[in-house]
């Protein structure tokens, strides 16, 4: 497959960045405090959890897989982190990330060893993680310890930047380096492009696929740690629908669900685009011109996804589609 | 099949009051909506697709019907025609939403998982916006008959379920349309070249799935005598997909069995009932359900590899 820098494909990939900038410009022009310190940090703080989950999802999707378990893994991670939080910041974080890695490892084994379709394997672990979270938390939210300083992971600042945003930023930087400058990253895309061919070329497809699920689980666990720290409690029933939010962000970011094509940077743009869309909606409500109930959020989110996938279908698959 | 038999035996021995009509009724009425949705899902999966939007479509159909027969949208006359109208409109809306899914999949060539994700996200929102998120409570025996009526002692929804299952099984096995579904799922390109109207088949299966979800939505609200847009059909897509997978339908398409789906749904329901009846908490039942799904699909894989 030759990949020419086709204008349409470029637009498909970077359209999301343009849309994001346009949205920010619109907000800047229309609302007083939109580009204000408080608003920026709160948007970043809140969306960093989704950003982490979406990053893992992005890697899994690039191999042609999917990870539906991220939402309940984050919930399980938040419960584990809250339970371990009295022992300090590190044990709390380690517990959350640890259970995330565990779920990720199970996903990876089911997909690579048992050859179960990613969709089904992660659907099953989604149920299992959600059940485990409820069991572990005794069906209620688990308060975190405020003495050990654990909440700083979600509420604290590093200089003027919210710590969750810093964590997400570092994760994206690492993700971008891995994808673009290491053989692992190139293998991820090769597997998504044509798994059989990659295997025959001698690439360690199973090991790399396992790694993507492991990373996705770990990142979901980390998101759970931040969730617990930010809201002061481990939430066994949080995280419902996160997987779909993450998939939506990845798709909006121009990564193809069939695998083989993707970018870490535009995934971040996708997360921010969807996040800021709601921020704009809140501001618009605040202006008093219109009043949209919270229920409109999901309608608008869905409509937005619809527009993006239709544009992508027109731009990307048309040139290759059989006439 | 064997698993189901084993479960039955286990229950006969260990669960108290298992072999009673009441237990049968409880299990059957609980499993009805899952089976009905799973039948539509089986057809969609048979073409190699998937429908994530069923739960949201249930919510929309469940939100629309009471709005009509309660006269929230426009004043209605006698209750009989109003209920009939409400059922028709709700089912029509559900079918149209299914068609919309099919349209995205067939004509825009969007992957089914993404195409139906749109309605999964937006659909529940639409239902919530319609009702403003409020609970709609009603006491309309004419309508609730589909959830609570018992001609000859058999719950109406069980009859509806049986009718849908039999019809679907017949369509899938004995009709050209049924063969076309499996041909599309087996090898789409080959099917298209040999004259199967692939696009129209896809439109049809998603419409059918939408219709089935609509029926299930009506049954749920009829049983509850209330419609809550936030809850109707929540998580249904997972239950339905699980039933289909456990029933032995290939998730990659090309092979599908309605009876298998029925058995799959019954198995999952019975496992849940067995655990709950023997005092295992609901959360642990989730973990067991996950294990069953993985085991069933894994066994399927082994069977195919041999």
How close is the nearest chain A Cα to the Cα of B24, in Å? 26
DSSP character string of B241-282: HHHHHHTT--TTSS---HHHHHHHHHHHHHHHHHHHHTT--H
Measure Cα distances from A70 to A7, A229, A276 in Å: 34, 18, 22
Q: Is A239 exposed, middle or buried (0-12, 13-18, 19+ CB in 10 A)?
A: buried
In whole angstroms, what separates CA B41 from the centre of its chain?
7
**Residue B115 pLDDT:** 86
DSSP class of residue A72 equals: H
Partners of residue A158 on adjacent β-strands: A161
Residue A296 and residue B117: Cβ atoms within 8 Å? no
How close is the nearest chain B Cα to the Cα of A145, in Å? 25
**Residue A58 pLDDT:** 92
Instruction: Tell me the per-residue pLDDT of A48-66, one tens digit each, with 9 for 90 and over.
Output: 999 999 999 999 999 988 8
Instruction: Tell me the per-residue pLDDT of A174-202, one tens digit each, with 9 for 90 and over.
Output: 998 998 888 888 888 888 888 888 888 88
* Mean pLDDT for the stretch of residues A195-218: 90
Instruction: Tell me the per-residue pLDDT of B94-108, one tens digit each, with 9 for 90 and over.
Output: 999 999 998 988 888
Question: Which residues of chain A have a CB within 8 Å of the CB of B251?
Answer: 117, 119-120
Most confident of A30-44, A49-63, B3-17: A49-63
Residue B117 and residue A244: Cβ atoms within 8 Å? yes
Question: Which residues of chain B have a CB within 8 Å of the CB of A303?
Answer: 118, 122
DSSP class of residue A233 equals: E
pLDDT at B128 over 70: yes
B68: nearest Cα among B138, B124, B120, B119: B138
8 A C-beta contact, residue A101 and residue A221:
yes
pLDDT at A101 over 60: yes
Distance CA(B122)–CA(A13), nearest Å, equals 24
> What pLDDT band is residue A74 in, cutting at 50, 70 and 90?
very high
Other Cβ atoms less than 10 A from the Cβ of A186: the count is 15
Distance CA(A320)–CA(A310), nearest Å, equals 16
Which tops the pLDDT comparison, A89 or A241? A89
Interface A–B counts its CB contacts (< 8 A) at 136
A278: nearest Cα among A266, A289, A268, A292: A292
Q: List all residues 6 or more positions away from A238 whose beta carbon is below 8 Å from its beta carbon.
A: A74, A75, A78, A227
Partners of residue A142 on adjacent β-strands: A234
A121 touches chain B (CB under 8 A): yes
Question: Which residues of chain A have a CB within 8 Å of the CB of B297?
Answer: 116-117, 120
Residue B109 and residue A248: Cβ atoms within 8 Å? no
DSSP class of residue B248 equals: T
Main-chain dihedrals φ then ψ at residue A138, nearest 5 degrees: 60, 40
* Mean pLDDT for the stretch of residues B125-145: 80
**Residue B73 pLDDT:** 67
**Residue B194 pLDDT:** 80
- Which residue matches tokens 């082994």? B302
Optimal mutation site among A71, A124, A307, interface B, most CBs of chain B within 10 A = A124
Instruction: Tell me the per-residue pLDDT of A256-266, one tens digit each, with 9 for 90 and over.
Output: 777 777 888 88
* Mean pLDDT for the stretch of residues B32-45: 91
Residue A257 and residue B114: Cβ atoms within 8 Å? yes
pLDDT at B305 over 60: no
Most confident of A103-117, A132-146, A278-292: A103-117
Instruction: Tell me the per-residue pLDDT of B184-193, one tens digit each, with 9 for 90 and over.
Output: 888 878 888 8
How close is the nearest chain B Cα to the Cα of A268, in Å? 19
Distance CA(B152)–CA(B54), nearest Å, equals 31
Name which of B108, B114, B287 is nearest A131 (Cβ-Cβ).
B287
Residue B297 and residue A301: Cβ atoms within 8 Å? no
**Residue B76 pLDDT:** 66
Q: Token pair of B85, please? A: 């109208």
Question: Which residues of chain B have a CB within 8 Å of the CB of A123?
Answer: 238, 241-242, 293
Main-chain dihedrals φ then ψ at residue B227, nearest 5 degrees: -125, 120
Q: Token pair of B39, please? A: 């039948």
Predicted structure pTM score:
0.81
Half-sphere exposure of A125 (CA within 13 A, CB side): 33
> What pLDDT band is residue B14 in, cutting at 50, 70 and 90?
low
Q: What is the ipTM of this complex?
A: 0.75
**Residue A105 pLDDT:** 96
Name which of A117, A241, A293 is nearest B129 (Cβ-Cβ).
A293
DSSP character string of B25-91: HHHHHHHHHHHHHHHHHHHHHHTT---TTHHHHHHHHHHHHHHHHTTSSS---SHHHHHHHHHHHHH
Half-sphere exposure of B17 (CA within 13 A, CB side): 8
Instruction: Tell me the per-residue pLDDT of B59-92, one tens digit each, with 9 for 90 and over.
Output: 999 888 888 887 666 666 677 778 888 889 889 9
pLDDT at B159 over 70: yes
B154 touches chain A (CB under 8 A): no
Q: Token pair of B122, please? A: 């937006």
Q: Euclidean distance between the first and final Cα of chain A, in Å?
A: 18
Distance CA(A313)–CA(A292), nearest Å, equals 30
**Residue A1 pLDDT:** 42
Residue A119 and residue B110: Cβ atoms within 8 Å? no
Which tops the pLDDT comparison, A31 or A133? A133
Q: Is A290 exposed, middle or buried (0-12, 13-18, 19+ CB in 10 A)?
A: exposed
B104 touches chain A (CB under 8 A): yes
**Residue A212 pLDDT:** 94
A262: nearest Cα among A195, A197, A176, A184: A176
Partners of residue B136 on adjacent β-strands: B227
* Mean pLDDT for the stretch of residues B244-270: 82
Average pLDDT in chain A: 83
Compare all CA atoms of chain B with the CA of A65 and give the residue at the minimum distance. Answer: B113
**Residue A184 pLDDT:** 86
> What pLDDT band is residue B136 in, cutting at 50, 70 and 90?
confident
Instruction: Tell me the per-residue pLDDT of A139-168, one tens digit each, with 9 for 90 and over.
Output: 788 888 777 778 877 777 777 788 888 899
Point out the least confidently predicted range of A121-125, A126-130, B196-200: B196-200
Residue A139 and residue B283: Cβ atoms within 8 Å? yes
Residue A131 and residue B290: Cβ atoms within 8 Å? yes
Report the percentage of chain B scoring pLDDT > 70. 89
B159 touches chain A (CB under 8 A): no
Distance CA(B39)–CA(B259), nearest Å, equals 9
């Amino acid at each position: 497959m030759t990949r020419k820098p086709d204008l349409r494909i470029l637009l498909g990939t970077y359209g999301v960045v343009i849309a994001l900038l346009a949205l920010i410009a619109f907000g800047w022009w229309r609302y007083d405090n939109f580009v204000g310190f408080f608003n920026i940090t709160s948007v970043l703080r809140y969306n960093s959890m989704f950003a982490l989950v979406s990053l893992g999802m992005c890697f899994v999707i690039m191999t042609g897989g999917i990870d539906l378990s991220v939402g309940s893994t984050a919930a399980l991670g938040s419960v584990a982190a809250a339970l371990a939080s009295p022992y300090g910041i590190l044990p709390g974080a380690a517990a959350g990330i640890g259970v995330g890695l565990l779920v990720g490892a199970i996903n990876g084994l089911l997909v690579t060893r048992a050859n179960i379709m990613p969709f089904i394997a992660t659907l099953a672990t989604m149920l299992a993680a959600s059940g485990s979270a409820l069991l572990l938390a005794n069906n209620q939210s688990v308060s975190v310890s405020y003495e050990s300083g654990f909440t700083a992971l979600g509420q604290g600042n590093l200089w003027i930047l919210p710590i969750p945003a810093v964590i997400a930023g570092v994760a994206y930087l690492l993700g971008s380096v891995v994808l673009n400058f290491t053989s692992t990253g190139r293998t991820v895309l090769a597997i998504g492009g044509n798994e059989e061919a990659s295997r025959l070329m001698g690439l360690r497809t199973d090991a790399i696929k396992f790694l993507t699920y492991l990373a996705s689980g770990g990142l979901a666990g980390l998101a759970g740690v931040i969730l617990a720290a930010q809201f002061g409690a481990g939430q066994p029933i949080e995280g419902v629908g996160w997987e779909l939010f993450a998939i939506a962000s990845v798709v909006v970011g121009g990564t193809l669900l069939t695998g083989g094509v993707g970018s870490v940077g535009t995934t971040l743009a996708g997360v921010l685009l969807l996040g800021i869309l709601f921020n704009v909606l809140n501001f618009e409500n605040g202006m008093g011109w219109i009043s949209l109930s919270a229920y409109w959020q999901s309608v608008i989110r869905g409509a937005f996804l619809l527009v993006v996938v239709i544009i992508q279908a027109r731009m990307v698959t048309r040139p290759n589609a059989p006439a | 099949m064997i698993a189901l038999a084993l479960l039955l035996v286990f229950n006969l021995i260990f669960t108290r009051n298992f072999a009673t009509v009441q237990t049968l009724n409880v299990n059957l009425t609980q499993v009805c909506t899952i089976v009905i949705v799973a039948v539509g899902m089986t057809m969609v999966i048979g073409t190699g697709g998937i429908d994530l939007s069923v739960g949201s479509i249930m919510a929309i159909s469940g939100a629309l019907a009471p709005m009509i027969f309660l006269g929230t949208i426009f004043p209605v006359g006698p209750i009989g025609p109003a209920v009939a109208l409400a059922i028709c409109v709700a089912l029509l809306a559900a079918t149209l939403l299914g068609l919309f899914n099919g349209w995205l999949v067939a004509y825009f060539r969007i992957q089914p998982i993404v195409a139906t994700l749109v309605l999964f996200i937006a659909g529940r929102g639409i239902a919530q916006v319609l009702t403003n998120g409020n609970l709609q409570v009603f006491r309309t025996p004419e309508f609730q008959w589909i959830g609570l009526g018992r001609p000859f002692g058999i719950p109406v929804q069980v009859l509806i379920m049986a009718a849908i299952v039999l019809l679907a099984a017949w369509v899938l096995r004995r009709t050209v349309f049924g063969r076309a579904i499996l041909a599309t799922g087996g090898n789409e390109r080959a099917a298209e070249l040999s004259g199967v109207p692939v696009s129209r088949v896809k439109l049809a299966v998603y419409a059918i799935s939408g219709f089935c979800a609509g029926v299930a939505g009506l049954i749920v609200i009829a049983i509850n005598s209330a419609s809550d847009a936030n809850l109707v059909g929540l998580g249904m897509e997972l239950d339905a997909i699980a039933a289909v997978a456990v029933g032995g339908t290939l998730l990659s398409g090309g092979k599908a069995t309605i009876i298998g789906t029925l058995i799959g749904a019954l198995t999952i329901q019975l496992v849940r009932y067995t655990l709950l009846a023997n005092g295992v908490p609901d959360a642990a039942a989730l973990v067991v359900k996950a294990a069953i799904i993985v085991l069933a699909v894994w066994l399927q894989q082994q069977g195919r590899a041999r």
